[in-house]
Amino acid sequence: MTEVVYRLYETVDELTTVIENARSVPMSASCMVPRDHLLDLLDDLRESLPEDVQAAGAIVEQRTEILQQAQAEAERLTGRTRGESEQLLSSARRQRDELLGTARRQRDEILAQAQADAEDILAEAEAEAERLVAEGMAHREALLADAQAQRAEMLAAAQAEHERLITETEVYRGAVDRADELGARTAADVARMRAEVDQYVDSRLADFGTTLERMLHSVEKARTTLRE
C-alpha cells in the first residue's frame, strides 16, 4: 500500500513538473504540453490507483443498476410499510371503537346512577321539607294558641283593672266632693270666727280707749291740781 501511494505521488509530481515547464501560448493563459507523455502519465496514474478506488470506480459505473435495485427495494419496503401502517391503523381504529364503546357504556351507567341518586336526594329533600313544614305549622298553631290565651288573660286583667280604676275614681270623686264641702264649711266657720274675733277685739279696743281716755282725764286733772 505504501509503494502504491509513493508511485501516485511520483506520477502527480511529474505531471506538475510537465505542466510547469510547458511552453506558454502567446496572448493567453494556456500552454503547450506533450500529449503522448501526459497520456502515459495518466495511464500510469490510473494503474497505480488502489483496488478500493478501482472498485469505487466500478461501483460508480454500476450506479444506475444499484439505484434501480435501491428504488425497487425502497418500493418494496414502502409497500410493506404501507401494509403494516394500514394494519396498525385498522387495529388503532378497532381499539378506538372499543374504547369509545366502553366509554359510552360507562357514561350511560354513570348518568343513570347520577339520575337515580338525584331522584333519591330529591325525594329525601321533599320529605324533609314536608316534615319541616308540618313542624312549623304545629309550632305556629301552638304559638297562636298561647298568644290567644295570653291575650284573653291580658284582656281580663285589663277589664278588672278598668273596673277597679272606675271604682277608685268614683270613691275619689266622692272624697273630693266631701273635701270641697268640708272646705266650704271650714271657710264659712273661719269667716264667722274672724268676724267674731274682729268684733271682740274692736269692742275691747273701744273699752280700752274709753278707759285710757278716763285715765288721761284723771292725770290732766291731777296735774292741774298740782299746779294750783
pLDDT class for 194, splitting at 50, 70, 90?
Answer: confident
Task: Evaluate if residue 61 carries a pLDDT over 70.
Answer: no
* CA 114 – CA 106 distance, rounded (Å): 12
pLDDT by residue (tens digit) across 117-162?
Answer: 767 777 676 777 677 777 777 777 777 777 787 877 887 887 877 7
* CA 108 – CA 175 distance, rounded (Å): 97
Task: Evaluate if residue 99 carries a pLDDT over 80.
Answer: yes
DSSP 8-state class, residue 28 = S
Q: Where are the domains of the chain?
A: 1-60
Q: Average of pLDDT values for 34-38?
A: 77
Place of cell 294558641: 145
pLDDT of 107 reads 86
The predicted model scores a pTM of 0.31
Phi/psi of residue 220, each to 5°?
-65, -40
Q: Average of pLDDT values for 97-118?
A: 82
Residue type present at position 34: P
pLDDT by residue (tens digit) across 40-49?
Answer: 777 777 777 6
pLDDT class for 102, splitting at 50, 70, 90?
Answer: confident
Q: Average of pLDDT values for 36-64?
A: 67
